[in-house]
Amino acid sequence: MRKTLSPRPYPVRANETLPHCHACGDPPKQAVHPGGAQRLLPIGALLTGMALSVPAAAQEEVTTPQVDVEATRERDSYQPEITSVGKLQQAPRDVPQSLTVIPQSVYLDRGNASLQQALGNAPGITFAAGEGGRIGDNFSMRGFPIYGDLYLDGIRDVAQYNRDLFNTQQIDVLRGSASMLFGRGSTGGVVNQVSKQSMRVDEYEVSATLGSHGYSRATVDLNKAVGATSGLRVNAMVHDADSFRGDGPHYERWGVAPALTWGMGTPLELGLSFFYLKEDNVPDFGVPFFRQRPLDVPVDRFYGFANGAYERYETRIATASAIYRFSPDVSVRTALRAADYERDLWTSVPRLPGGTTVVTDATAVNRQRQARGGDETPVTSQTDLDAKFSTGRLEHLLLAGMELSWEDARRWNYAPTGAIPATTVGDPDPYPALPAGFFTRTRTGEVNYESDSIGLYLQDIVQFLPGWKVLLGLRWDRLDADYERAEPLGPLSRTDSVVSYRTGLIYQPDPVQTYYVAYGTSFNPSAELYSLDVRGSNTPPEKSRNFEIGAKWDLARGLSLRAALFRTEKTHERNTDPLVADEFLLSGRRHTDGIEFEAAGRITPRWEVFGGVALMHARIDESINAADEGNWPLYTPPYTANLWTVYRLPHGWQVGGGFNAVGKRYGSNANTNFAPGYIRWDAMLSYVQPRYTLRLNVLNLFDTVHYETVYAGHVIPGTSRVFLGTLEVKL
C-alpha cells in the first residue's frame, strides 16, 4: 500500500509515525508533542489563546518536497526520543531529572493492558492495594505515594479508577519533587500518560487477544486524514476476563476515544478530543496476613463474595486545545479540559479473627464490608508560552504559564445493612447466603468539596557557555478549598499560597554525553485530593525537596543509558498529636536515598533492550510515634528491577523475555505485616509481517507465587502463569 506524505512546514505532529524508508533502512521515528479564582477564567484563557492566534493564521507556509514512500510494518525503537513531561518538547537528555519514557512498543510487546502493568517497566515504582478509603490505581514512587500525581497529557488526572492503555501512546515517568511544573503534590514524582493524537495519514489497525482464564480483549485504532491539514482518530477497546483467583473475580471494561485536529502543519492548530471508559468488576482484595506474612494458601482461593459484589467506574474527559506558532521558535499552547468521574464500591476485604494464633482449614475468614462511592467534576485550563531567543551570548529556552482549575467533588459511604457471612480458610464460599435487605444502599457521611486554584510559573533554560546550561524555575500556587460536611459537623475551609522552586546545572560536552545536578521542591496541602478535616483545616502544607546528580548517554546505535544518585526528603510531614484536637503537627521527617540505572534502545540493529534498577534506602527520621522512627516507610522496597529484551530473527520472527523483581515491602510504618520480595519472568514470541502480527505472551513463565500489591491488612497475589495470544492487523 503506497502513501503520499503531505508537505510538512512544521515539526511532525504529536505521536505521528513516519513510514519506513527503504532507501536508508531506518525504522520509523516518533515525535511527541505536548499537548479557579473565578470559574469563568478557564474558558477565558482558552478564548484568549485562540484570539491571539487568528491574526497570523494567514502566514505563508514553508513547504517541503513531496516524497513517495511505501509504508511497512516495523517495530518502533525502545529508545526514548521526545518527551513533553517538562511542558516543553524536549529530548530526555535535556531534562535534568530522572526520567523514564515507556513507549507503546514496550508495553505491547510485554502484553500489558493497564497503566499498573506498564509501570512495572519503570524502576522505583510499587503498587498499593486499593483500600483504606481509596480504590483504583494506587502507586508509590521512591517510597512516596503518587496517586495524586497522575496526569493525562500534562493535566491532572487524580480520580480513582483503573487506567487502560488503549488510547495511550507513551508514558513519561518523572522522578523527584516537581511542584514548579505541576503544582501541589509530586514528592516522589509524576506519571504522565500521552494520548494518541490525530495524524495526516490513513491508517487503520485492529487487534484481538485471547488468553487463559477467559481473557478476551479487542482494540481498534482508526486514523483518517481529512484534507491536507486535518485528521480524525478513533481508538476503542472492549475487555473481559476472569481471574486466576478462582470462581469470583471478574473484570469488564470498554472505552472509546475520538480525537479531531485541524491545521496540522500550519501556524494555528486546533484540537477536540473525548475519552470515555466504563468498568464493572467483581474486585479481589487478596488474602489476609498471618504472623506478619501473607496467609500461605493456594493462590486460587478467593475470600470475597461474588454474588453482588462490584467495583464500578465511569470516566468522561473532554479536551479542547489550541496551538499557535508565531515562528519555529515561539508558540502558545492552550488547553481546556472538563471531566466527570463516577465510582461505586460494594465489596469486602478478608481478615482473620483477632488473636488468631493457629490456622487450619476450618479457621474462619471474616469479610469486612467496604461500601462507598463518589463523583468528581474538575475543570482545568492550562496556557503555556515557550520561546527560544538570545540575549548577547546567552541562549534562552523560556517557559511561562498559567494553570487555573475548579473542582467539585462528593464522597459518601453506604450505611451497613447486614454482615457478610464469614467463610473458612480451606473452603471459601464465593456465593454465601446474604441477609435480607443487604443491597439496600443508603448514603451516609456524605461530604462535598469545592476548590479554586491558580498557578503561575516561569522557567528559563540558559546556555551560558558552549555545552553548559542552567535551569531556573519558579512557581506560585494558591488553593482555596471549602468542605461541606453533614450536620452537626458543619463546614471547613482552607486557603494556602506556596512558592516552589526548580533549578539545575547541565553539562553536555557533545551530542552523546549529558551530566547534571538538580534541586526541586514540592508541597502537599491538607485540602488536596478532595479531603479535609478539622486538623487539616488548621495545618499548613507539607514540604518536600529532591537533590539529584546524574548522567545520560545517547549512543550512536540508538541506545540510551542513564544513571542517577538522589535524595528525596519530606521535611514537614503531618503527624497526629493526641493532645491537640484541631491541628496536625508538621514534625514528621522521612527520606529516601538511592541510585538508579536504566538502559533503553538498540544494542544491535536486531537486539532491543528496556530495563532499569533502583536501589533505595528509606527511613522515617522523626514521627509522633517514636516506635516508627528508624523504620522503613510503607510500600517502599530496598530495590526494584525490570528488564525486557527482544531479538529479531530472520523472516519476521521475534523472541523476547524479561523479568520484574521487587524487594520486601511493609504494609504500614510500624513494619509489621509485609509482602516478601519476588522475581517474575515473562516471555514472548511473535511473527511480524507488513500487514499483520501474531504474538504469544507468557506471563509469569515459571508460575512463581508472588504478591504485587500490599495494604496494612491484606495483600493481593500477582498473576499465576497466563498465556495470551494476539493478532494485530493493519488494514
The per-residue pLDDT for range 680-722, each reduced to its tens digit, is: 999 999 999 999 999 999 999 999 999 999 999 999 999 999 9
pLDDT for res 3: 37
Task: Say whether 11 sits in a helix, a strand or coil.
Answer: coil
pLDDT band at 183 (very low <50, low <70, confident <90, very high): very high
Look over the chain and give the mean of its residue pLDDT values, rounded to a whole number: 87
Mean pLDDT across 1-25: 35
Q: Cβ(654)–Cβ(648) under 8 Å?
A: yes
Q: Show the domains of the chain with their CATH numbers.
A: 16-730 (2.40.170.20)
pLDDT of residue 476: 98
Q: Residue 32 has what pLDDT?
A: 35
pLDDT given at position 58? 33
Question: Do 693 and 665 meet the contact criterion of CB atoms below 8 Å apart?
Answer: no
Q: Are 443 and 413 spatial neighbours (Cβ–Cβ below 8 Å)?
A: yes
Contact by Cβ (8 Å): 519, 504:
yes
Confidence of residue 12 (pLDDT cuts 50, 70, 90): very low
Assess whether pLDDT exceeds 80 at residue 390. Answer: yes
Pairing, β 379-391 against β 310-327: unpaired
> What is the pLDDT averaged over residues 562-589?
73
Q: Return the pLDDT at 553.
A: 97
pLDDT band at residue 54 using 50, 70 and 90 as cut-offs: very low
pLDDT higher than 70, residue 82? yes
pLDDT of residue 339 exceeding 80: yes
Backbone torsions φ then ψ of 120, nearest 5 degrees = -65, -15
Q: Quick check: 194 and 153 in contact, CB under 8 A?
A: yes
On the 0-12 / 13-18 / 19+ scale of CB atoms within 10 A, 694 is middle
Give residue-wise pLDDT tens across range 105-148. 999 999 999 999 999 999 999 998 765 567 889 999 999 999 88
Q: Which of 677, 636, 666 is nearest to 292 (CA)?
A: 666
φ/ψ of 130, rounded to 5, equals: -75, 90
Cell of 124: 522505583
- Position 38 pLDDT exceeds 80: no
pLDDT at 2 over 60: no
Q: Which CA distances in Å does 587 have to 169, 188, 622, 624, 625? A: 42, 19, 7, 7, 11
**Spatial contact of 119 and 614, defined as CB atoms under 8 Å apart:** no
pLDDT at 611: 98
Please calculate the CA angle 573-574-579 and round it to the nearest 5 degrees: 135
Percent of the chain with pLDDT over 70: 87
Amino acid in the structure at residue 651: H
| pLDDT at 25 > cutoff 60 | no
How far, rounded to the nearest angstrom, does the alpha carbon of residue 304 sit from its chain's CA centroid? Answer: 28
Q: Do the strands 125-128 and 707-710 form a parallel or antiparallel pair, or are they unpaired? A: parallel
Q: Both ends of the chain: CA-CA distance in Å?
A: 10
The CA dihedral of 144, 148, 151, 154, to the nearest 10 degrees, is: -90
- Mean pLDDT in residue range 585-613: 92
282 Cβ neighbours under 8 A, 6+ residues apart: 248, 249, 250, 251, 304, 306, 309, 310, 311, 347
Q: In the prediction, which pLDDT does 152 show?
A: 97
pLDDT at 634 over 60: yes
pTM: 0.88
Distance CA 326, CA 324 (A): 6
